[in-house]
């Protein structure tokens, strides 16, 4: 063992002596116990139903879900029908206005002596 | 509670010095060390019923205390030097004194706090807990070579610092 290794070894021994365990602050254990008791609140109670009740409850929940899906689908179809009807009415109104405008234009041209498209010329 | 109150009280009495000392020497901060040590025992309280033997409990506490202390050190970026004076002025029991001068010990603690985290952790586990390098490696999830390297570097650095700051250690070239 050379000199530096010997010194390091001696230093290790002195370090071991200096690194003894120390006590925690006064009242440490009590503070931990108090926190443990505070954390130990009653947990949420799990309610267990009898098997037959569970079957009925599960069936009721499934039926409610199906009814919900059905109602939602019906509402969606109804909204779609309403949108289609509205679009149809708007289209008809537009066609009617266009027809009336064309008729007015034709009458004005007729009054001006211009013959338009009724006899194929 | 996962374990009975009396049992927890007994485990705290038995292991509080180990857990607190690991936390203190790694974090370098007295208040943080107490917080870490409390958290470790609360975690033990929650999972204690899974710990079979006394050895298992001690190993578990050592591992969890080390990792929680490292986490606290990283999270809070504790600067150990800030707490050194507080540490020196605090009164600590000396029940297991092995003839080491208290002033010398305090200065050694101060120097320990100036080491980088991996070296400090390795030194604490080796010289406080008297663990072997392969045990330290398993606890930290590192390679034995890396632990040995940290131990050697930490020792050399500590000794070099001691040579500059403590006349007790001026014993020839470092």
Length of chain A: 121
Please check the confidence at residue A101 and state whether its pLDDT lies above 90.
yes
Residues of A in contact with B162 (CB under 8 A): 11
Q: How far is B141 from chain A (nearest CA, A)?
A: 23
pLDDT digits (tens, 9 = 90+) for B78-98: 555 554 444 444 444 444 444
Subunit contact B17:A14, Cβ cutoff 8 A? no
Residues of B in contact with A17 (CB under 8 A): 98-100, 105
Q: What is the mean pLDDT of residues A70-84?
A: 94
**B169 — contact with chain A (CB < 8 Å)?**
yes
Per-residue pLDDT band at B159 (split at 50, 70, 90): confident
Q: What is the mean pLDDT of residues B165-170?
A: 61
User: pTM of the predicted model, to two decimals?
Assistant: 0.62
Token look-up 């999270």 returns B75
Measured distance CA(B84)–CA(B66) in Å, rounded: 20
Count of structural domains, chain B: 2
Measured distance CA(B19)–CA(A25) in Å, rounded: 12
Query: Is B84 part of a structural domain of the chain?
Result: no
Measured distance CA(A57)–CA(A51) in Å, rounded: 10
Q: Can you give the residue range of the structural domain that contains B7?
A: 1-78
Residues B74 and B2 in one domain: yes
Mean pLDDT, chain A, whole residue set: 85
Task: Report which of residues B34 and B81 the model is more confident about.
Answer: B34
Collapse the DSSP code of A11 into the 3-class scheme (helix H, G, I; strand E, B; otherwise coil) and give the result. Answer: helix
pLDDT at A76: 94
Residues B118 and B64 in one domain: no
Backbone angles phi, psi at A77, to 5 degrees: -65, -40
In b/e form, how buried is each residue of B113-138, taking b as 16+ CB within 10 angstroms? bbbeebbbbbbbbbbbbebebebbbe
DSSP state of B99: S
Query: Is B40 part of a structural domain of the chain?
Result: yes
Q: Give the CATH number, domain containing residue B21.
A: 1.10.1740.10
Lowest-confidence region among A5-19, A79-93, B17-31, B122-136: A5-19
Residues B8 and B71 in one domain: yes
Measured distance CA(B131)–CA(B144) in Å, rounded: 12
Q: What is the mean pLDDT of residues A100-115?
A: 89
Per-residue pLDDT band at A94 (split at 50, 70, 90): very high
């Amino acid at each position: 063992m050379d000199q530096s290794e010997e010194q390091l070894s001696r230093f290790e021994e002195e370090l071991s002596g200096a690194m003894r365990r120390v006590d925690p602050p006064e009242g440490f254990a009590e503070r931990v116990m108090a926190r443990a008791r505070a954390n130990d609140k009653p947990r949420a109670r799990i309610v267990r139903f009898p098997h037959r009740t569970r079957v009925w409850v599960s069936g009721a929940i499934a039926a409610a879900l199906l009814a919900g899906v059905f109602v939602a689908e019906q509402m969606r179809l109804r909204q779609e029908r309403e949108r289609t009807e509205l679009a149809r009415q708007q289209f008809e109104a537009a066609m009617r206005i266009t027809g009336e405008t064309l008729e007015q234009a034709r009458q004005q041209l007729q009054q001006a002596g211009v013959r338009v498209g009724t006899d194929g010329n | 509670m996962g374990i009975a109150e009396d049992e927890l009280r007994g485990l705290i009495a038995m292991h509080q010095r180990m857990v607190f000392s690991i936390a203190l020497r790694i974090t370098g901060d007295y208040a943080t060390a107490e917080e870490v040590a409390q958290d470790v025992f609360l975690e033990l309280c929650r999972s204690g019923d899974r710990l079979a033997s006394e050895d298992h409990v001690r190993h578990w506490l050592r591992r969890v205390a080390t990792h929680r202390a490292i986490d606290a050190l990283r999270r809070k970026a504790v600067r150990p030097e800030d707490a050194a004076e507080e540490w020196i002025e605090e009164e600590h029991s000396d029940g297991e004194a092995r003839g080491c001068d208290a002033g010398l010990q305090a200065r050694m603690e101060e120097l320990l706090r100036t080491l980088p985290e991996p070296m400090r952790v390795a030194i604490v586990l080796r010289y406080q807990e008297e663990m072997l390098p392969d045990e330290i490696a398993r606890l930290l999830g590192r390679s034995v070579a890396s632990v040995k390297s940290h131990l050697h570097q930490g020792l050399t650095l500590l000794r070099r610092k001691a040579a500059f700051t403590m006349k007790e250690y001026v014993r020839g070239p470092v």
